[in-house]
Amino acid sequence: MKADILLGLQWGDEGKGKIVDVLTPRYDIIARFQGGPNAGHTIEFDQKKFILHTIPSGIFNASTINVVGNGVIIDPFIFNRELDMLKASGIHAENNLMLSKKAHLILPSHRLLDAAYESAKGKAKIGSTLKGIGPTYTDKTARNGIRMGNILRDDFLKRYRDLKEKHLQILKAYEMDLENHELDGLKFKTYEEKWFDALDRMKSIRIIDSEYFINQSLNSGKSLLAEGAQGTMLDVDFGTYPYVTSSNTVTAGVCTGLGIPPHQVGEVLGIFKAYCTRVGSGPFPTELDNTEGQKLRDEGHEFGSTTGRPRRCGWLDLVALKYAVMINGVTRLYMMKADVLNSFAMIKVGTSYYLNNEKIDYVPFEASYEKLKPEWLELEGWHTNINEIRNEKDVPKALDRYVKYIEKQTGVPVSMISVGPDRSQIIHRS
Ligand code: GDP
Ligand code: IMO
Ligand code: MG
Ligand 1 pocket, residue 228 CB under 6 Å: no
CATH of the domain at 21: 3.40.440.10
Decide: helix, strand or coil at residue 368: helix
Domain count for the chain: 3
Phi and psi at 108, nearest 5°, equal -55, -35
What CA–CA distances, in Å, run from 131 to 75, 293, 294, 325, 372? 8, 28, 28, 29, 30
Residues 6 or more apart whose Cβ sits within 8 Å of residue 110: 132, 135, 136, 139, 167
Phi and psi at 351, nearest 5°, equal -100, -25
The residue out of 146, 167, 202 marking a domain boundary is 202
d(CA 112, CA 131): 9
pTM: 0.97
Residues 6 or more apart whose Cβ sits within 8 Å of residue 123: none
CATH of the domain at 136: 1.10.300.10
d(CA 241, CA 235): 8
Query: What residues form DSSP beta bridges with 416?
Result: 334, 428
Residue 311 DSSP label? P
Question: Are 74 and 219 members of one domain?
Answer: yes
Expressed in angstroms and rounded, the spacing between residue 54 Cα and the centre of ligand 3 is 11
Q: Catalytic residue at 104?
A: no
Reported as a single tens digit per residue, the pLDDT across 307-331 is 888 999 999 999 999 999 999 999 9
- Residue of the nearest CA to atom 6 in ligand 2? 128
- Residue of the nearest CA to atom 25 in ligand 1? 420
| Given the residues 13, 28, 139, 317, the one annotated as active site | 13
| Ligand 2 pocket test, candidate residues 279, 281, 303, 312, most atoms within 8 A of CB | 279
The residue out of 181, 202, 223 marking a domain boundary is 202
Question: Are 301 and 389 members of one domain?
Answer: yes
The amino acid at residue 148 is M
What CA–CA distances, in Å, run from 67 to 141, 165, 216, 362? 22, 31, 14, 36
**Cβ(296)–Cβ(313) below 8 Å:** yes
d(CA 151, CA 148): 6
Closest CA to 9 of 333, 301, 244: 333
Residue 124 DSSP label? G
Question: Are 292 and 417 members of one domain?
Answer: yes
**Cβ(32)–Cβ(72) below 8 Å:** yes
The amino acid at residue 369 is Y
Question: Are 261 and 283 members of one domain?
Answer: no
Question: Are 285 and 376 members of one domain?
Answer: yes
Question: Are 249 and 361 members of one domain?
Answer: no
Q: Catalytic residue at 13?
A: yes
**Cβ(274)–Cβ(405) below 8 Å:** no
Question: Are 244 and 152 members of one domain?
Answer: no
Ligand 2 atom with least separation from CA of 281: 27
Ligand 2 atom with least separation from CA of 228: 2
For residue 279, the ligand closest to its alpha carbon is 2
Residue 70 DSSP label? T
CATH of the domain at 324: 3.90.170.10
Expressed in angstroms and rounded, the spacing between residue 172 Cα and the centre of ligand 2 is 27
- Residue 171: CB atoms within 10 Å: 17
Decide: helix, strand or coil at residue 278: strand
Give residue 51's pLDDT.
Answer: 97
Decide: helix, strand or coil at residue 254: helix
Give residue 369's pLDDT.
Answer: 67
Per-residue pLDDT of the chain (430 residues; tens, 9 = 90+): 999 999 999 999 999 999 999 999 999 999 999 999 999 999 999 999 999 999 999 999 999 999 999 999 999 999 999 999 999 999 999 999 999 999 999 999 999 999 999 999 998 899 999 999 999 999 999 999 999 999 999 999 999 999 999 999 999 999 888 888 999 999 999 999 999 999 999 999 999 999 999 999 999 999 999 999 999 999 999 999 999 999 999 999 999 999 999 999 999 999 999 999 999 999 999 999 999 999 999 999 999 877 888 999 999 999 999 999 999 999 999 999 999 999 999 999 999 999 988 999 999 997 776 689 999 999 999 999 999 999 999 999 999 999 999 999 999 999 999 999 999 999 999 9
Q: Are strands 346-355 and 316-317 parallel, antiparallel or unpaired?
A: parallel
Question: Are 246 and 277 members of one domain?
Answer: no
Closest CA to 411 of 299, 322, 306: 322
What domain range includes position 186? 104-202
Name residues contacting ligand 2 (CB within 6 A): 8, 11-13, 38-41, 126-129, 131, 133-134, 229-231, 234, 245, 279-280, 305
Closest CA to 130 of 76, 175, 81, 184: 184
Question: Are 91 and 115 members of one domain?
Answer: no
The residue out of 184, 202, 220 marking a domain boundary is 202
Expressed in angstroms and rounded, the spacing between residue 220 Cα and the centre of ligand 3 is 33
- Residue of the nearest CA to atom 6 in ligand 1? 13
Question: Are 334 and 238 members of one domain?
Answer: no
Terminus-to-terminus CA distance in the chain, angstroms?
23
Expressed in angstroms and rounded, the spacing between residue 42 Cα and the centre of ligand 1 is 6
DSSP strand E in 260-329: where? 265-273, 276-278, 312-314, 316-317
Question: Are 283 and 355 members of one domain?
Answer: yes
Question: Are 60 and 145 members of one domain?
Answer: no
- Residue of the nearest CA to atom 23 in ligand 1? 337
